[in-house]
Amino acid sequence: MTEPPKPPSRPAKVSLFKYLRLFRADILSAQPERLFRAWMAEFRTPFFRSYLINDVSLLKTVLKERPDDFPKSGRISEGLRPLLGNSVFLTNGAVWKQQRRIIDPAFEGGRLRDTFPAMWDAGEATVARLAGMSDAAVEIEAEASHAAADVIFRTLFSIPIENAVAAKVFDEFRDYQRSQPILNIAAFVRLPKWMPRFHRRRTKASAKVIRGLIKQLTEARMAEIEAGTAPNDLATKIMTTPDPQTGETFTAEEMVDQVAIFFLAGHETSASALAWTLYLMAIYPEWQEAVAAEAQVLGACEFPVMKKLRVSRDVFREALRLYPPVPMMVRENTCPERFRDRDIAVGSQMVLSPWHLHRHQRLWENPDGFDPARWETENGRQCARDAYMPFSQGPRVCTGAGFAMVEGPLLLSMILRRFRIEAVGDAPVPVAHLTVRSKDGIWLRFVARDHSVSDHQTPGSHSTPSP
């Protein structure tokens, strides 16, 4: 049995100064060991108080039962405002509800079937690119980003990543991703609206270029819609869907905001998840072979095949547990609260952290171990309901969660059907940029499979659960 990878470094104790320094550079390195056992923890700064919540009953209160009392924190949104504007990811209240009423229909179950051919084509293009790198060391985060961006552009605008505008967006976003810290100074100090937000010059420049390119795509699509020549893809669906309560549709400027978050959420998070999943497959060859054997069912581009990719789905779910792309989410309480015998003042920050929750030592069996078979155990099923939130929970659950759970297992299966993968060099160290990435990249070797993969029993003591 392969030994599980060591959990990310966890200092025994972290000072306020070190917390503030590491928050800007790498928030994950600042997390002390005790937070992976605590039900709630208080963090004080001179400007505000934060409360990390791992108590599942309190998570239910914040995310599901009273979400309007705990809107998204403006402290976190400030850092993303130059790129995302007034997108659904940053808004609250009535504006957010209207945006979701327009966006959600595009991602309903039936639409996943419509977008499947575009995902399939992106998967085939990914396999073809990797074939040209066979037997060489490949930095897979870059390739996963390329694949995820290709999926987004094909499903949103019916164009491949090779399209000139799409390629420019992708290139600019690579610069933005590395230049944008997870938090900026506004996360620590409540600044007046008139005061500058101290965004990095490079970050603002990249955001401006990306938004300008997205504007070209949305304006071109609006012209196609008016001419009756628009393809039936996600962009057309969203731009032509009226709010059922007001009858309004998104303006061109509003659509730029939404496309920006679709690209960020659908590309950046998917790339992170796929890269870490492939790394786990490289260090757990028994699971890699199980996925590869199962992938032999892939033939023609047919959506029902997803029901047969059970091992791939559970492997992907487990990768999302260990390396959730969005490590922390922040809400702000608008009412006085009393949580676990502590008085919580209005304006405090509620930190909801998949990074801690998914490895919590008092919730999960073998919390730091890689075990896709856990999802059919009693503990796994219970934690899946209460302590698993890679896409958040409640009304603000990611609208593309179903999309991601098709894309991830599909690309994983298509890749492992064609290649055997091996880890190269040192084990990657997770850090937080916009999503959980590796400090120095994830290096893998892809070796073409020269024969059909034989049937292989799923590793572990449990059979794979039915979908």
Query: For position 200, what pLDDT does the model report?
Result: 59
CATH number, domain 16-448: 1.10.630.10
Neighbours of 455 (CB within 10 A): 9
Residue 462 pLDDT: 40
Output the pTM of the full model: 0.90
Looking at residue 202, what is its pLDDT? 72
Cα distances (angstroms) measured from residue 406 to each of 237, 285, 304, 308: 19, 23, 11, 12
> For 385-395, what is each residue's pLDDT tens digit?
999 999 999 99
Are 54 and 360 spatial neighbours (Cβ–Cβ below 8 Å)? yes
DSSP string, 118-186: HHHHHHHHHHHHHHTTTTSEEEHHHHHHHHHHHHHHHHHHS--TTSHHHHHHHHHHHHHHHHS-S--GG
Those residues of the chain that have pLDDT short of 50 are 1-3, 182-198, 452-458, 460-467
% of the chain exceeding 90 in pLDDT: 69
Length of the chain: 467
CA–CA dist 161, 209 (Å, integer): 17
**C-beta separation of 324 from 390 below 8 A:** yes
Burial 282-298 (b: 16+ CB within 10 A, else e): bbbbebbbbbbbbbeeb
Closest CA to 324 of 428, 415, 429, 432: 432
The structural domains of the chain, with segments of one domain joined by +, span 16-448
At 106, which helix (H) or strand (E)?
A: none
pLDDT in tens, 189-216: 444 444 444 455 777 888 899 999 999 9
pLDDT at residue 390, rounded to an integer: 97
Query: What pLDDT score does 7 carry?
Result: 63
